[in-house]
Amino acid sequence: MAYAAVDTILVQRNWLLGKRIAIECLNENGKADYGKKTMKKLSSELKEKYGKGFDFSSLYKYVKFHQEFPQILDSLRPKSGRPLSWTHYRILLQETSPEARAWYAKEAQEQAWSVRTLQRNISSQYYYRMLMSQNTEPVEKEMKELTATYQADKLEFIKNPVIAEFLGLSSNTDFTESELEQSIITHVQKFLMELGKGYAFVARQQHIRTEKEDYYIDLVFYNYILKCFVLIDLKTSKIIHQDVAQMDMYIRMYDEMKRNEGDNPTLGMGINWIHDTK
């Protein structure tokens, strides 16, 4: 699927970037010598050229990712289970034990653990409890019961954060909401791939008429996996309480409009979406 392909490329990019940083910063003792000053300078240059996703913390994680998963490029397309996302690997880096980390990675892949399931299991030291238990069945059963809602969470289909640097906008925020909207429409295929699985574009500036006033929803999508509409209200500034209230109103009004048309929709969510390049 397009979603899996994009995520695999993101994992490859982060690993290769971490490798390059580590190699070019190796000192005479063969150890990584990337001081804060050097990393901050590199981060600043990368953010200026490519935008978001290259802050100091992220670069540090990329280097650690390369060091802790040296053979990762050979296992990005597993024979069983599903490939792990970058978010999975970022969580795996929290585990300091190589043995435990490898076990969590294997289980997450083969059992198709969601991101939240993996985080819960690492936080609760699931590996060590399984290791110390003479009867692992009750421990595994408890884990599955406690993470059942995470595995069934349909929002796993929705990427967070959405990285939309392909929109071609400047690295600052000197653009209007209408320019942001037009750029998304121009690159709608890439935008759909970035959103996640099962999305289809429905409408732009969806008109909703009431007795008192007319309203316009910036973008409307439909997700055929979740079987719901997704409404997006574009913002180029910080979201305030009134924006959230307005989106709630849009959802109710759109739901009523579709029911009047005889569609009987299932409305999933509204999103106040900001293109944040800071």
**Spatial distance between the Cα atoms of 80 and 110, rounded to a whole number of angstroms:** 6
Name the least confident of 41-45, 62-66, 117-121, 239-243.
239-243
Give the pLDDT of residue 152. Answer: 62
- Among 136, 213, 211, 205, residue whose Cα is nearest residue 177: 205
Q: Please list the helix, strand and coil fractions of the chain in percent, rounded to the nearest 5, in that order.
A: 55, 15, 30
Query: Which of these ranges, 1-15, 155-169, 184-198, 246-260, has the smallest mean pLDDT?
Result: 155-169
CA pair distance 217, 229, nearest whole angstrom: 12
Mean pLDDT throughout 23-34?
55
Return the sign of the alpha-carbon dihedral for residues 26, 32, 33, 37. positive
Residue 48 has pLDDT above 90, yes or no: no
Question: Where residue 263 falls among pLDDT bands split at 50, 70, 90?
Answer: low
pLDDT band at 107 (very low <50, low <70, confident <90, very high): very high
pLDDT of residue 79: 53
Q: Is the pLDDT of residue 144 over 60?
A: yes
Task: Determine the distance from the C-alpha atom of residue 166 to the mean position of all C-alpha atoms in its chain, rounded to a whole number.
Answer: 16
For residue 148, pLDDT beyond 50: yes
Residue 36 pLDDT: 66
Q: Work out the pLDDT band at 158, boundaries 50, 70, 90.
A: low
Q: Is the pTM of this model over 0.85?
A: no
pLDDT confidence band for 101 (50 / 70 / 90): very high
| Average pLDDT, integer, range 30-44 | 68
Confidence at residue 128, expressed as pLDDT on a 0 to 100 scale: 92
Q: d(Cα 254, Cα 265) in Å, to the nearest integer?
A: 9
Q: Provide mean pLDDT across the span 144-168.
A: 62
Distance in angstroms (rounded) separating the CA atoms of residues 43 and 52: 10
Percent of the chain with pLDDT over 90: 13
> pLDDT higher for 273 or 20?
20
Q: Which residues pair with 158 in a beta bridge?
A: 196
* Mean residue pLDDT across the chain: 74
